Every structure is written in C-alpha cells, then in structure tokens.
Structure 1
C-alpha cells in the first residue's frame, strides 16, 4: 500500500471517528438520521438528499462533494434502514 493510500485511509478513519463522537455527544442524531433516511432512501439521488437534510437539521455537516467517509456513512445509514424494514 502506498503512502498516499495509507494517508487516505487514516483521513477516512479520522472523519468517521469525529462523527461517532458527535453521535455519542448527541444520541438523538441517530434517530434523526434514520428518519431522514427513511424519507429519502427510495429517491434516485438518496445520498445527496439525506446528506443535505442531515446537514441542515443536525450538527453533522456533509459537504456537497462527499468524501469517502461521507459515502461510507450514507451507505451505512441506508443499509441500517433497509435492514429494519426487512425484519418486518
């Protein structure tokens, strides 16, 4: 693995850790994020819509150009909500 790839992975991990800290500080973010995801997950541009509304309603700020960590987080949110609906 090249130095650039290692640094990129470190950056992604650091971004995800920052988000996890925010969630532990404000646990209601999880509930809000899942509600927003349920609302937009069937849209063709679901990730962008989820990111936009989440940024507007919480202290989680996802820029218009998503980083790899942003994409991982948004994919995880959609998977979590899909798993919830699959259980019923």
Structure 2
C-alpha cells in the first residue's frame, strides 16, 4: 500500500469516528453551528476558526486540538464545512 493510500485510509477512519460521534449526539451539530455563527459574525474573522475549535472542544464531546497545527484532516474538514455553511446562510440574507 502506498503512502497516499495509507493517508487516505487514515482520513477515512478519522471521518468515520467523527460521523459516529455526531450520530450518537445530534446536538453537537446544532451547538457547533451556533458557535460558528457567533464567532464568524463578531467582525474579526482572524483567529475565528481557532476560537470556534476551542469552544466546540469545551462544550461538546468533540475534541479539536487548541493548536491549529495539530488539527487532523477530519478537524480541518469539519471546521471548513462549518464556515461554508455559515457563509452560505449569511449570503441568503
């Protein structure tokens, strides 16, 4: 198995674990969206993703490392999707 295949397999396993956690506690999605809305609407988007990650870790069963350099691919993907959803919501208004 090549290193890229190993990397893809690892990412898939991370995402499976993350999705499992979301299905076990559906409130995580609502809480995460509320957190992202609040931080992304505060004006300064610089550092917003780190603040979002920290608050999600503090208030839900999802753990995202404080240091963005330590974020897994699943962490990065989740945060990016949250941002995209909020941006799309705001574009509708």
Q: TM-score, normalised by structure 2?
A: 0.84
Aligned residues: 87
Q: Provide the rounded CA distance (Å) in 2 between the counterparts of 1:43 and 1:82.
A: 12
Aligned-residue CA RMSD (Å): 1.4
Unaligned runs of 5+ in 2: none
Pairwise CA distance, 1:80 = 0.8
- Aligned pairs for 1:52-67 (under 5 A) are 52-63=54-65, 64=67, 65-67=70-72
- Whether 1:73 aligns to 2:73 is no
Unaligned runs of 5+ in 1: none
Pairwise CA distance, 1:43 = 2.2
Q: TM-score, normalised by structure 1?
A: 0.88
Q: Deviations over 1:15-60 (max 9, x none)?
A: 1111111111111111100011012225201221111110010000
Pairwise CA distance, 1:6 = 1.2
Q: Is the 8 A contact 2:54 2:64 kept in 1?
A: yes
Runs of at least 4 residues off by over 2 Å: none
